[in-house]
Every structure is written in structure tokens, then in C-alpha cells.
Amino acid sequence: MNISQPLRILHVANFERFKYGQWYMGLDSKLSYGFVQLGHCAEPFSHRDVARAESLLKSKKGGTKKMNQRLLAMVDNYQPDFIMLGHSELVTLDTLRQIRERYPQVPVAMWYCDPLFHEHGVELLNSRTPFLDALFTTTGGPLLEAIGKNASGRDCTVAHIPNWVYSGAESGTAFKNDQLLSDLVFAGSDYHEPERQGLLKQLRDDIDGVNFRIFQALDNPRIHGRAYYEALESSLMGLSLSRRVDVDWYSSDRLQQMLGNGLCTFSPRTKGLEQLFSDQEVVWFDSGADLVDKVAYYKAHPEEARAIAEAGWRKVHQNCAAQRIACFILEVTCQQPLSEEYEWAGEIYPKGKAG
């Protein structure tokens, strides 16, 4: 397949059409934009929305059978050159089997952004790898390498991809903003974990003069859509937290969202991610105490914070652009030579390799 020529790409994912813009920055849409930037036609199939629409009671479960029928019809109508699955748990294995039998020449790939330390995700992916040419996850290392393995090797190529940004969505430049509303912002769950809650409370209460806006965690309301990105764009600093920091390459997609909107972003030091961003682009921390000290320091030295924010903003829009991630996906899936030195290229584990 000549991936430099325009392709008809069918992207099956959760486009959340019935959330009416609450999650316009979702990875699903941004990856489609990346394919379009490469010159391809990326047609969306929002599997959950179709399932609800096809159910008399507007139920995902009730409409799943009909949704799978509609997906098969769409494949027949659209005749895609490439099929990209995102989070698509309602698509049955039988549907995937039928697609592969009807169109054996069409490459099928899948991306997955939930961490691989959740067992239900691993089970889902392992069930799908026999029908895929390639699988891409935002986790790397041993957890990724174990996916799809069986007695004869690996069902399909698996590879890491970082979370991606799209300049049309991540369009903020907080480092230029002279009318900031907060010093630090966090938008995410505390999962009712005492250690996580304690860290957020310490940042909120124990650093003199720091205006820390918290959304969702500590019983604060959630924030969605444009209001969420406005909160990022009006903060000097942002905090990205992951539930585990011992998983290679993994982070919350809030890391890229904050970097992409020009915040000085704090993140737990994670193996692999330091190959994407230097300590001149992200403020890495090694403990809660280290984080508190660094937030206090950059509160007192805002120009240094702005310099890091601008450097991180430039790097994330270079390294993690949706167009670049889309190109990598096509090259790996279609077994084409890599067009550039991707920072995560060491996290490709080919099909059939048993070691």
C-alpha cells in the first residue's frame, strides 16, 4: 500500500457526538484530524452513539447488535483502504472476523489509551489482536511487550504511541497570558485515595500565595469543553498526575493537554517520558515533597516558569502532533520504513516474535 497517496480511512471510536462539545479535545477526533492533515479521508464511526441511536430505549446495550450490523454496512459502502479502531469495546469479535474475511487486503489497526495495568483492558486487547495488523497503546515497556503473545509468538505488531495534540484544539499559549486567573490548575479525579488527596490539599493549603484551582478532585465540580481549556489557558502552571508512575511511558493525556496549551507542567518522573521531554520542558518531580518545593519555587520565579512552558509547548506540538502520530501508525501497520527517528521507536514489538 502506498500510504503517501490519499487513503479512505474508517475510524471506529468514541466520538461522543451526543455530548455536544463537552469533549471536543478527545483523542478520537484529534487522530482523525491527523490523518486528514496527511491528505487522507478519515470517516468516523461513533460506535456508542450509533448503538444508542439504533436502540428504541437509547441504550448502548440494547443497540449493540444493530450497531455491529451498521458497521458492516458502512465497511461495504465506504470500502476503506485502512481501518483504524479506537476504544470500540461494543464491536464484537464476530464483526471483526467478518471484516477480515470480506476484506483480507485491508490493514486493520487499533489504538488504546487506557493504562495496561487494568486487567479488563488487557483481556480486551488480547481478544482483538488475532484480527489486527498492529496495536498501539500509550503504555510501553514490559506491559506492552506482553500483549498478544501466545505459544507461537505475537498475534500482531504492538507499539507504543504517546498521547497526541492537535494545534486546532490545543491552541492556547498560557505563557503569553498577562491576565492569569490561577497559579496552578488540576482537573482530574482523586479516586478517593488518601495519599492523592493529601498531596492536593498540601498544594492548596501549605504554599503561601499560590492560587490553586482544582476541578473534580476534593469534591469540586467537574469541568468540560471550552471551559476546561479556558481554565488551562489562564493558569501559569498545571499538574498532571497518573495513578501509577512505575509504568514505562504512561501518563494521563492531561500532560499533553497542559503542555499543548502552554502551561509550565509538573509531572511525576516516568521512564520513557524523559525521552520525549527534557527537564527544560517539563518539571519532573520525584515525590510529594519535591513537587511542593518546585511549585513554590516557580510561583516565586514566574519568568522561569514561562520559559519552561514555552519550551514544552514547542516540543509537544513537534513530537506529539496528531499528524506525526497518524503517520507513525500508518508506517508501522503497513510495514513501511519509518520516515523519521521517532523517540519511542524502540517500543515496537513485531508480530510473531516469541522472545
Per-residue pLDDT of 230-284, as tens digits, reads: 999 999 999 999 888 899 999 999 999 999 999 999 999 999 999 999 999 999 9
DSSP state, 130? Answer: G
- 135 three-state secondary structure: strand
The mean of the pLDDT values for the chain is 96
Three-state secondary structure call for residue 136: strand
Average pLDDT, integer, range 215-243: 96
Among 115, 73, 133, residue whose Cα is nearest residue 98: 73
Higher pLDDT, 245 or 183: 183
Q: What is the mean pLDDT of residues 28-37?
A: 98
Q: Mean pLDDT throughout 194-203? A: 95
Average pLDDT for 109-137: 95
In this structure, what C-alpha cell is assigned to residue 124?
480486551
Q: What angle do CA 148, 153, 157 make, to 5 degrees?
A: 55
Which grid cell is 331?
Answer: 508506517
Paired sense of beta strands 134-137 and 235-239, if any: unpaired
**What's the confidence (pLDDT) of residue 56?**
87
CB-neighbour burial class of residue 348 (10 A; exposed 0-12, middle 13-18, buried 19+): middle
Distances (CA, A) of 196 to 85, 139, 286: 33, 21, 14
pLDDT tens-digit readout, 70-92: 999 999 999 999 999 999 999 99
Mean per-residue pLDDT, 122-140: 97
Dig out the grid coordinates for 47 from the structure.
Answer: 460506535
Confidence of residue 113 (pLDDT cuts 50, 70, 90): very high
- Would you say 354 and 286 are in contact if contact means Cβ atoms under 8 Å apart? no
pLDDT score of 245: 87
| pLDDT confidence of residue 354 | 57
Q: Are 165 and 261 in contact (CB under 8 A)?
A: no
Three-class secondary structure of residue 178 per DSSP: coil
Going by C-alpha positions, the residue among 110, 104, 93, 100 that lies closest to residue 157 is 110
Confidence of residue 206 (pLDDT cuts 50, 70, 90): very high
- Whether the predicted pLDDT of 151 surpasses 80: no
Residue 355: pLDDT over 70: no
Distance (Å, rounded) from C-alpha 112 to C-alpha 329?
12
The model's pTM is: 0.96
If 0-12 CB within 10 Å is exposed, 13-18 middle and 19+ buried, where does residue 116 land? buried
